[in-house]
Amino acid sequence: MKMDGVKAFRGVVRIVPFALGLMGCAAGEGTAQRGQDGSCTKADQIEYVSGGSECLAIKTYAPSNLDSDTVLIVSLHGDKSNGRPISHEYDTPEKLADSKTISVAMLRPGYDDKFGKRSSGHSYGRRDNYTAHNVDAIAEAIRNLKKHHKASKVVLAGYSGGANISGVILGRHPDVADGAVLLACNCDIPRWRAAMSSWQNSLSAHEFVGGIPATTRIIAVTGDRDTNTDVSLAKSYVTRLKERGIPSEFRVAVGVNHDTGLSSPEYMNAVKDMVALVRSAK
């Protein structure tokens, strides 16, 4: 089955760009399709979504025959400090869509992908960019997606810096998500940066534990060979969560390092487990 801009496969509809040159702007960080009034003119909730003053690029994987009780998974990528466009980070979100699950991969502010799409805003050289502005833009964009898709539940699936941002959203915007899977989370930014140059502008997930509702469910996963975000960072974060009575779990991915976590079965299983948990919760 073929439709304009839509490809159906394995029972899932993948939304693809109509014309790559039109869907994204490659002319420098902070550019995207916005009108003179600053509105996100491309905000169709499929390829772009408005998030506050930002226009964030997304890639949507939707079921071809949508059932009721839909869960929306929003995946947030890592910092990608090597400067390359987001690419393989789309692989797992694509696999997560099924007859009751819409999966959306979101480009954080200032990031671009292999298709030439780019989110507006700033990544600040892909350093120290977990700012209040960027976090709030992402949170608002997720609200807009939930409303558009009429999702009953929302699960955040964050990797590395995207995991920290997800943790911040849980406490700073407690209405946004019902659960989260945090892969290789640098959940305590001062501690993570202790042996490196400090970051002054980024919010840290560990500082927002107090704002997370007790009904929120969280699974943290870190590889035992991860030398970037040591297992102790996420493990300590989960300890804080449990002290507040928040249903949470820490899982170790054996033989997995920082770069292989996204493709690990431990991560995929954790997201599937989380979807089942939030769907069953009253």
Q: Which two tokens stand for residue 122?
A: 């700033």
Report pLDDT for 106. 98
Whole-number Å distance between alpha carbons of 252 and 270: 11
Three-state DSSP class for residue 166: helix
Report pLDDT for 129. 98
Report pLDDT for 69. 83
Please tell me the pTM assigned to this model: 0.89
Whole-number Å distance between alpha carbons of 189 and 129: 12
How long, in residues, is the chain?
282
Report pLDDT for 37. 61
Report pLDDT for 35. 61
Report pLDDT for 33. 62
Whole-number Å distance between alpha carbons of 39 and 263: 36
Closest of 141, 120, 119, 117 to residue 23, by C-alpha: 117
Report pLDDT for 68. 74
Torsion sign (Cα): 238, 239, 240, 242: positive
Query: Which residues of the chain have a pLDDT value below 50?
Result: 1-13, 15-30
Residues 6+ apart with CB under 8 A from 195: none
Q: How far apart, in Å, are the Cα atoms of 190 and each of 194, 229, 256?
A: 6, 12, 24
Q: Which domains does the chain have, with CATH numbers?
A: 2-280 (3.40.50.1820)
